[in-house]
Every structure is written in structure tokens, then in C-alpha cells.
């Protein structure tokens, strides 16, 4: 597994992260096996959110750490807070309370990364700054970031927040590419030219913010996996051909396409299957050429100007 540095001055971690949104489906032994299988593949970055499974996902992961405390020193733990039932809440009070809940469930004294989970329309940046200062001072969170936020939202926070926001989780897959489409269709009037997110891809590259693509196998907003989906015949034909040529599973080609982008992203896998995890992690050994990258992009139904 290749490694890289998060942001501009963060720790070196695996190029691929494992998301634990579905770990509540597993029993204790299965959860132990999944974490160890990830480490065997070189994956040492684990992504959580307090909303996943209503907190149950963090509890299960905390059980893994309780059964083998030596694991904590070998991994980076990230969690996200800010989503409440029917609303978003970036108030100082909620951030601090939510982080305490994460730590208790995860059975750890610190989060290596804390992200604000999606934007809050009622955000008061000063409250976020106060909360982050407390968390940094007490050592409860070491580094900070956001998810699904555009450049102006990040700038609004960063004007007051003194900690560098070093991560932005954004949806991206071969079958969901709006942040790439707009950059290729500059000065055009076709649908792909619409800038949905304030040029967030270029912004993150300029600011040294690591993009963590989530749902890297999905099409649409939780529309399902595109791999093997008959609605994507051309894309799957190209993916399958390249997978056969390179001796890997199709999932590895889908992840390799993301890793090939010079933004140096860190895809977040959401699988609980050790087999699927191993297949996807082979992406770190696949080097796509420029021609192959664009062939996959076009096979997904994208048109070049």
C-alpha cells in the first residue's frame, strides 16, 4: 500500500481509507477480522461519523480497540460530527459534546482527524473556532477538516478558525464526476459546464487540502454501485477489459482511476467484506496511463469538448 501525507503537514497514512458506516452489521469477531485485514493490506486510516448507525458503528470499532489496545498506536482514526436528526449543528456546545461521545464510543482519548459533517446553514464560525481551540488544547482532536463544503464555506470558517482545515470529503466516482466535468467544460454552455461546487477540486489543490472521495463505486446520490450495473454497459466493458489486462478486480480499476488524479486524493472504501477490501486495495499497485484515464472517463458517458 502506498502512503502519502494528509494536507501539507499531516501524518503519513495509507492512500486508501476504510469507512466504517456499515460496520454495525458485523459481530465482534467479524469486526476484529475486518480491521486486521485492512492493516494486512496496509490500510491504517479509519473513517467514522457519530451519525453512522446512531453511534453503534463507533461502539463496535471501540470494541475492536478494547480487545486489542495495541492497535491504537498503529492507526489513524477520523470521525465527523454536526448532523442531528432533521438538522445540522455546528454550535460550540454540540461539537464539544459530540466529540466526547465519539471518544467514549471509540474507546480512545483522541481523534487524529475531526471533520464537520456537511455544511450548517446556521454556522457561526466563531463558535467553531472556540470549539476547535478547546479540542486542540485538550488533545481530543489533533487535526481538522470538513465534508461536502465548497470553497467559500471553507474560507468563511478559515477566516476565524486558526487550525488549518486539511481534509474535505466529497463524493466522487467514475460514474459521479461533476467536480471534474466543470473543469473540462470551461466557457461552454452544455450541462457539464455548470459549476456545482465553486471549483472545489482546484481550490483544494491550491490550498493543500486532501480530498477524500466517498462512495467511490456509487452513481448518483446513493444510486447504487455502477460496477456490474447494466445501465453502464460501456463503462463496465472498459473497466472489465482493463482489469483483465492488469490482473486485478474491476473495483481496483475504479479506485485506481481516482488515485491517478494529480490532486492526490484518498478514496474512502465503505466495504465490510475482507474479499472486496483486498480487491479494491490492489488499486495502489495499478498505474493508469493518461490515455487509460480518459478512456474510462469517456466510457462513463462523459463528452470531451
CATH T-level topology, domain 3-299: TIM Barrel (3.20.20)
> Which tens digit of pLDDT belongs to each residue from 37-67?
999 999 999 999 999 999 999 999 999 999 9
* Ramachandran quadrant class, 107 (left: phi over 0; alpha: psi -120 to 50; beta: rest): left
pLDDT over 90 (residue 220): no
> Which tens digit of pLDDT belongs to each residue from 58-116?
999 999 999 999 999 999 999 999 999 999 999 999 999 999 999 999 999 999 999 99
Mean pLDDT of the chain: 97
The CA distance from 217 to 264, in Å, is 18
Catalytic residue list: 52
Contact present, 178 and 221 (Cβ < 8 Å): no
Instruction: Delimit the domains of the chain by residue range.
Output: 3-299
Torsion sign over Cα 147, 152, 157, 161? positive
Kindly report the pTM of this predicted structure: 0.96
Amino acid at each position: 500500500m502506498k502512503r502519502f501525507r494528509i494536507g501539507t503537514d499531516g501524518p503519513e497514512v495509507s492512500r486508501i481509507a476504510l469507512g466504517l458506516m456499515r460496520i454495525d452489521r458485523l459481530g465482534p469477531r467479524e469486526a476484529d477480522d475486518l480491521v486486521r485485514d485492512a492493516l494486512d493490506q496496509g490500510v491504517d486510516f479509519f473513517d467514522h461519523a457519530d451519525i453512522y448507525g446512531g453511534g453503534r458503528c463507533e461502539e463496535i470499532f471501540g470494541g475492536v480497540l478494547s480487545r486489542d489496545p495495541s492497535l491504537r498506536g498503529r492507526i489513524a482514526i477520523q470521525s465527523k460530527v454536526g448532523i442531528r436528526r432533521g438538522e445540522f449543528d455546528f454550535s460550540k456546545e454540540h461539537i464539544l459534546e459530540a466529540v466526547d461521545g465519539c471518544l467514549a464510543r471509540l474507546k480512545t482519548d483522541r481523534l487524529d482527524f475531526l471533520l464537520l459533517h456537511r455544511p450548517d446553514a446556521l454556522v457561526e464560525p466563531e463558535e467553531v473556532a472556540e470549539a476547535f481551540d478547546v479540542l486542540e488544547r485538550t488533545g481530543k482532536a489533533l487535526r481538522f477538516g470538513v465534508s461536502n463544503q465548497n470553497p467559500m464555506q471553507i474560507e468563511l470558517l478559515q477566516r476565524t478558525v486558526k487550525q488549518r482545515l486539511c481534509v474535505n470529503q466529497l463524493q466522487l466516482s467514475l460514474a459521479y464526476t461533476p467536480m471534474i466535468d466543470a473543469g473540462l467544460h470551461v466557457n461552454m454552455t452544455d450541462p457539464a459546464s455548470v459549476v456545482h461546487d465553486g471549483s472545489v477540486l482546484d481550490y483544494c489543490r491550491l490550498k493543500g487540502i486532501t480530498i477524500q472521495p466517498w462512495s467511490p463505486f456509487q452513481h448518483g446520490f446513493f444510486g447504487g454501485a455502477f460496477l456490474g450495473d447494466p445501465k453502464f454497459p460501456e463503462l463496465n466493458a472498459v473497466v472489465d477489459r482493463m482489469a483483465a489486462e492488469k490482473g486485478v478486480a474491476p473495483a481496483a480499476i475504479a479506485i485506481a482511476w481516482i488515485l491517478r488524479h494529480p490532486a492526490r486524493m484518498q478514496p474512502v472504501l465503505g466495504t465490510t467484506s475482507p474479499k472486496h477490501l483486498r480487491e479494491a486495495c490492489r488499486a495502489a499497485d495499478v498505474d493508469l496511463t493518461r490515455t487509460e484515464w480518459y478512456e474510462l472517463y469517456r466510457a462513463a458517458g462523459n463528452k470531451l469538448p
